[in-house]
C-alpha cells in the first residue's frame, strides 16, 4: 500500500518544484533608442549655454564674410564690447531675477536713478566721489530690496511689481535731476572718478574700456556665486520649483530677497559704468535698457520659466545683439531692419527654449 503524503508536505514539495522550474529572468524594459534630434535636444538641455555660443560664432562668421576686414578690425570688435557693456551688466542683474522665474522691468530705472544720485552728490553737493558711489551702491541695493519685499512679503507678481516700481524710480529720477543732465565738463572738474570706466587701455591695436572689463568681471563673479556656492544652488532650486524647495528646507523668501538685493547692487555698479560710457549723466538715458536686458537674457538661453540656464548665456546674448547690430550696420542695413532682426532673434530663442524644455516635461 503506497504511502499517503500529508497535504502540508505535498504543498512544500510542489512549491520547491515550482521554484526550480520558474523563469529566473528579471523584468526588463525595451531599450529606447534616441534619434539624432532627441539626442541634440538632450545635449542642449544639459548645456544651455551651447545655443548662444553657436549663434554667436555663426553670426561672427557670417558677418565676417559679408563685411570682410571691417568687421574683424580691432576698432570694430572693441566698439562692440563698449556698446554692450552697460546692457550686459544690466542683463547680469536681470538674469538673477529670471533664474527665480521672475522678471524685473525696473533695472534700467534703478541704474539711471543711482547715477543721478551719485552725480548730484559728487558734483553739486560737494560729497567726495567715492562716498557718493557708496551711497549709490547702497541705494541700488535698497531699491532691489524694495522690489523683493513687494514680491516676497506682499506676494505681488514680479512683472506687476517691477512695472510699478519702474514708474516710481523714473519719476524720482526726473524729480531729483530736475529733468536736467549733468555735463561732462562738470563731472571732469568735480568728480572725475565717476567717469573712470570710460577710460581705455591699449592691448595691441585694440583699445578696451575699463567698463568692458568690468562687465566681464561682474559675470564671472556671479557665475561663481551661482555655480560654486550653496546660495546659488538655492537660487536654481527656487526658480525650478519654489514649493519643492521650501519642502526641502530652503528659505525661499530669504533667497528671493537676497536675489533682488544683489540685482539692485549690480544696477548700482552699472550706474557707475554708465557715467563713463556716456560721459555725462542724463535722467533719460537708457530708457529702453529694461527691454534690452531682457532681450540679452532670452537670447542667452536663460529660461523665462526659471531654474535653467547659465548667467554666462546673458553675456553671450548681449554680444549676439551687439554683433548683429554692428554687422548689419556695416552691411548698410537700415536701423529699422536691425530692430526687425533682433525681434526675430527673441522669438526664435523663446521657441528653442520651449522645445528644449520638453526634455524635462
Q: Are 277 and 198 in contact (CB under 8 A)?
A: yes
**Is residue 227 left, alpha or beta, with left meaning phi > 0 and alpha meaning psi from -120 to 50?**
alpha
Residue environment code for 27-42, b if the CB has 16+ CB neighbours within 10 A, otherwise e = eeeeeeeeeeeeeebe
Is the Cα dihedral 215, 216, 219, 220 positive or negative?
Answer: negative
For residue 31, is it within any domain? no
Placement of cell 555660443 in the chain: 53
Report if residue 253 sits inside a domain: yes
Domain presence at residue 36: no
Tens place of pLDDT for every residue, the chain, 361 residues? 455 555 555 555 665 666 566 656 655 555 566 677 777 777 777 777 888 888 899 999 999 888 878 888 888 999 999 999 999 999 999 999 999 999 999 999 999 999 999 999 999 999 999 999 999 999 999 999 999 999 999 999 999 999 999 999 999 999 999 989 999 999 999 999 999 999 989 887 888 999 999 999 999 999 999 999 999 999 999 999 999 999 999 999 999 999 999 999 999 999 999 999 999 999 988 888 898 999 999 999 898 888 888 999 999 999 999 999 899 898 888 888 888 988 888 888 888 777 776 765 5
Residue 16 lies in a domain: no
The whole model's pTM is what? 0.86
Domains: count for the chain: 1
Let me know if residue 3 belongs to a domain.
no
CATH number of the domain residue 168 falls in? 1.10.3470
Classify residue 157: in a domain, yes or no.
Answer: yes
29 part of a folded domain: no
Burial of residue 253 (number of CB atoms within 10 Å: 0-12, 13-18, 19+): middle
Q: Is residue 35 part of a domain?
A: no
Rounded-to-integer distance, Cα 127 and Cα 229, Å: 37
Boundaries of domain holding 90: 49-354
Amino acid at each position: 500500500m503506497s504511502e499517503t503524503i500529508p497535504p502540508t508536505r505535498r504543498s512544500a514539495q510542489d512549491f520547491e518544484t515550482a521554484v526550480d522550474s520558474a523563469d529566473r529572468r528579471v523584468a526588463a524594459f525595451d531599450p529606447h533608442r534616441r534619434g539624432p534630434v532627441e539626442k541634440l535636444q538632450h545635449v542642449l538641455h544639459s548645456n544651455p549655454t551651447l545655443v548662444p555660443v553657436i549663434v554667436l560664432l555663426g553670426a561672427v562668421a557670417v558677418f565676417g564674410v559679408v563685411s570682410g576686414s571691417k568687421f574683424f578690425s580691432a576698432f570694430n570688435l572693441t566698439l562692440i564690447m563698449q556698446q554692450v557693456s552697460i546692457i550686459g551688466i544690466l542683463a547680469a542683474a536681470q538674469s538673477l531675477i529670471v533664474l527665480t522665474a521672475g522678471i524685473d522691468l525696473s533695472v534700467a530705472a534703478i541704474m539711471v536713478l543711482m547715477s543721478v544720485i551719485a552725480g548730484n552728490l559728487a558734483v553739486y553737493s560737494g560729497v567726495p566721489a567715492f562716498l557718493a558711489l557708496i551711497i549709490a551702491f547702497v541705494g541700488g541695493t535698497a531699491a532691489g530690496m524694495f522690489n523683493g519685499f513687494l514680491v516676497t512679503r506682499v506676494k505681488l507678481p514680479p512683472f506687476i511689481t517691477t512695472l510699478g516700481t519702474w514708474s516710481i524710480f523714473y519719476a524720482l529720477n526726473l524729480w531729483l535731476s530736475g529733468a536736467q543732465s549733468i555735463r561732462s565738463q562738470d563731472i571732469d572738474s568735480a568728480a572725475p572718478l565717476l567717469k573712470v570706466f570710460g577710460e581705455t587701455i591699449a592691448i595691441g591695436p585694440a583699445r578696451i574700456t575699463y567698463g568692458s572689463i568690468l562687465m566681464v568681471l561682474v559675470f564671472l563673479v556671479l557665475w561663481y556665486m551661482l555655480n560654486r556656492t550653496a546660495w546659488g544652488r538655492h537660487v536654481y532650486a527656487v526658480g525650478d520649483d519654489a514649493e519643492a524647495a521650501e519642502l526641502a528646507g530652503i528659505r525661499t523668501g530669504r533667497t528671493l530677497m537676497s536675489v533682488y538685493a544683489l540685482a539692485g547692487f549690480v544696477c548700482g555698479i552699472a550706474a557707475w559704468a554708465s557715467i563713463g560710457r556716456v560721459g555725462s549723466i542724463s535722467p533719460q538715458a537708457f530708457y529702453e535698457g529694461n527691454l534690452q536686458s531682457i532681450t540679452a537674457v532670452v537670447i542667452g538661453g536663460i529660461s523665462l520659466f526659471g531654474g535653467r540656464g547659465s548667467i554666462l548665456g546673458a553675456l553671450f546674448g548681449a554680444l549676439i545683439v551687439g554683433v548683429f547690430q554692428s554687422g548689419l550696420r556695416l552691411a548698410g542695413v537700415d536701423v529699422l531692419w536691425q530692430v526687425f532682426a533682433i525681434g526675430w532673434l527673441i522669438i526664435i530663442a523663446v521657441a528653442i527654449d520651449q522645445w528644449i524644455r520638453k526634455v524635462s516635461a
